[in-house]
Amino acid sequence: MSFVEYGDTIKDGDTAIVFLGHESMFPVKVQHGTVTQTKYGVIRHSTDLIGKKYGSKVTCSKGGWVFILHPTPELWTMNLPHRTQILYSTDISIITMMLELKPGSIVCESGTGSGSLSHALIRTVAPTGHLYTVEFHQQRAEKAQEEFREHGVEHLVTVTNQDVCKNGFGVSNIADAVFLDIPSPWEAIGHAKSALKAEGGRICSFSPCIEQVQRTCLAMEECGFTEINTLEILLRVYNVRTISLQIPDLGKASEDNSSTGFDSSNPSHQGSPCANLQQGTVQFKSGVPLREVVGHTGYLTFATKS
């Protein structure tokens, strides 16, 4: 099993996603002789998972059923164990695009955190690219290295435990892009410039506060970065619903129906606009925004090494 190469069947040692519904899923490490408890009953790894195809419908001991999905960076973002605040797919997608990443790209990242963005970056630069990720916290760095090994992507990533603001990324003049998600990114701009290739490399800094953005932009200008711009991604979801509205009585419906020969008793006319006029309401599909939406996550500042 690998997060960057699709596997057809579930194997012992794989990480799989148990899907109970769009709002209910969790990861599980498949192990021979192990069982997993769900609200629909027990899943026995030896008989219910190992050897089955990903996407299979598995019946639990209580008669309910779940789907077993192959892990992807998007599914992992929704289900990973949180060691820090993470980036979600809304921000990850624009980061990947604006950094101009592609298979074969070399990327430097700090900090690693829970590895949400890291998995997406690895999938984008595979199979010939590489991610150099730096994490200040030793336990988080070790856990990230363990997860990359379990997920079959350790050959595509190098995890370093050090302070990027003092010691940099450990590489020079090779990176196509640099991503910063640290409290004081302005202190690492010089190291980011050193890690980037000679010309045209891209940098992105994620910061939740506008004061951090201001200091980072000033540092970018001092280091000679160009095309500096900051943006914010806000996600607004709409639900499609059937809306019923009452038709105003304009006093001409009966006259118009008689003049056109409309027969309300004819079944073929029951669904027509005229029938709705006589009933006093009309139904149509409409997009309705959710009452609660995801608000501010952070500001994304992009720049280019000239």
Q: Is 117 annotated as a binding residue?
A: yes
Q: Residue 207's beta-bridge partner residues? A: 299
The one-letter code for the residue type at 142 is E
Task: At 70, list the tokens.
Answer: 């192959």
The dihedral over CA atoms of 264, 267, 270, 274, expressed in degrees to the nearest 10, equals: -40
Phi then psi dihedrals of residue 120, to 5 deg: -70, -40
Kindly give the pairing relationship between strand 225-231 and strand 299-305. Answer: antiparallel
The one-letter code for the residue type at 76 is W
Q: Is 56 annotated as a binding residue?
A: no
Alpha carbons 30 and 15: distance in angstroms, whole number: 6
Q: Is 115 annotated as a binding residue?
A: yes
Whether residue 287 has a cis bond before it, omega within 30° of 0: no
Q: Is 163 annotated as a binding residue?
A: yes
Alpha carbons 282 and 292: distance in angstroms, whole number: 28
Q: Is 135 annotated as a binding residue?
A: yes
Task: At 300, list the tokens.
Answer: 């994304």
Q: Is 181 annotated as a binding residue?
A: yes
Alpha carbons 271 and 286: distance in angstroms, whole number: 19
Do residues 132 and 170 touch, judged by C-beta distance below 8 A? yes
Q: Is 187 annotated as a binding residue?
A: no
Do residues 67 and 55 touch, judged by C-beta distance below 8 A? yes
Phi then psi dihedrals of residue 67, to 5 deg: -105, 145
Residues of each annotated binding site for S-adenosyl-L-methionine: 114-117, 135, 163, 181
Residues of each annotated binding site: 114-117, 135, 163, 181
